[in-house]
């Protein structure tokens, strides 16, 4: 899954793709570089971000989706608003990617059930403005697993086909770096819930912290690509269904190497 953010303030591509033609061209290049799906988002979810209204969000994404759908690019809509998802599906998107797992907008389940499209339910505890305050866990892996299972159960109860549900640990969303690493190490626990799992670590802050300078300065976004590749490949080897990244070509190359070597799975350690 290639990331196409059409927000002026997205942390990782710095709002470079807000111009319609540039956004469509970038989406096409992600597709040509090997993305099976291009994920179009019009609301920044970086920690601390303020929300935009639904009309602004829809106005950002719908023309880009129309342009990319016309070019034959399979698209997901990265939104937690039902009205935006509905407009995006009408414009040609085929997957809903909801970072709130259906919690932000109760009408999302109705839209997903009616559309019958795949729905990514990401683990989420609250809006970006104050989500880091919610990064409190006794056992992050078990709690994320249980909260994701509850979201899947709620979706199914609302009429969503279980075969259309995809789960995502929500790296960086109400998680500190230790939480993200624990979830990366125990992705199998989420996979054991029986749904495909999407893994989205690309360029995230915790990778910058891992690679910080001796004085603690985090590695800036452009220097996080090798770490993104490493963690993406480990996720694939753990059984992730999909990998959401900004740099598609490099990820596709790494996955090609993994496939050529027989798609080896990581062995579970005795006490994991």
Nearer to ligand PMM, 62 or 224 (CB): 224
Catalytic residue from among 244, 249, 259, 267: 244
Binding-site string for ligand PMM from residue 93 to residue 132, where x marks contact by CB under 6 A and - marks none: ----x-x--------------------x-x----------
Q: How far is the CB of 202 from ligand PMM (least distance, A)?
A: 6
For this structure, is 268 an active site residue? Answer: no
- 205 is an interface residue for ligand PMM by CB under 6 A: no
Nearer to ligand PMM, 92 or 169 (CB): 169
Catalytic residue from among 204, 219, 224, 265: 204
Q: How far is the CB of 169 from ligand PMM (least distance, A)?
A: 8
The neighbour count for residue 103, using CB atoms within 10 Å, is 21
Cα–Cα distance between 20 and 112 in angstroms, integer?
27
Number of residues that bind ligand PMM (CB under 6 A): 19
Sequence-distant (≥ 6) Cβ neighbours of residue 5 within 8 angstroms: 12, 13, 15, 17, 41, 44, 78
Structural contact between residues 41 and 13, judged by C-beta atoms closer than 8 angstroms: no
- 41 is an interface residue for ligand PMM by CB under 6 A: yes
Pseudo-torsion of CA 167, 115, 44, 28, nearest 10°?
100
Pseudo-torsion of CA 124, 127, 128, 131, nearest 10°?
-60
Active site residues: 204, 244
């Amino acid at each position: 899954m290639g990331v196409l953010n059409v927000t002026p303030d997205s942390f990782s591509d710095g709002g470079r793709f807000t111009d319609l033609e540039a956004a469509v061209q970038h989406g096409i290049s992600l597709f040509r570089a090997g993305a099976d799906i291009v994920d179009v988002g019009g609301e920044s979810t970086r920690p601390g971000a303020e929300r935009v209204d639904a009309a602004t969000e829809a106005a950002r994404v719908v023309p880009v989706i129309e342009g990319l759908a016309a070019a034959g690019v399979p698209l997901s809509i990265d939104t937690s608003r039902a009205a935006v998802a509905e407009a995006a599906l009408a414009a040609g998107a085929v997957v809903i990617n909801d970072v709130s797992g259906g919690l932000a907008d109760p009408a999302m389940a109705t839209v997903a059930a009616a559309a019958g499209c795949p729905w990514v339910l990401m683990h989420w505890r609250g809006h970006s403005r104050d989500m880091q305050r919610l990064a409190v866990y006794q056992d992050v892996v078990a709690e994320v697993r249980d909260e994701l299972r509850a979201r899947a159960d709620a979706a199914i109860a609302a009429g969503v086909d279980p075969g259309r549900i995809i789960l995502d640990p929500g790296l960086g969303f109400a998680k500190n770096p230790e939480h993200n690493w624990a979830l990366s190490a125990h992705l199998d626990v989420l996979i054991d819930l029986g749904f495909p799992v999407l893994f989205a670590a690309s360029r995230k802050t915790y990778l910058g912290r891992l690679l910080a300078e001796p004085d603690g300065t985090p590695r800036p976004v452009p220097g996080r690509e090798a770490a993104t590749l490493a963690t993406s490949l480990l996720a694939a080897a753990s059984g992730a269904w999909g990998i959401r990244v900004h740099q598609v070509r490099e990820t596709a190359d790494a996955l090609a190497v993994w496939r050529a070597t027989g798609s080896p799975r990581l062995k579970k350690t005795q006490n994991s």
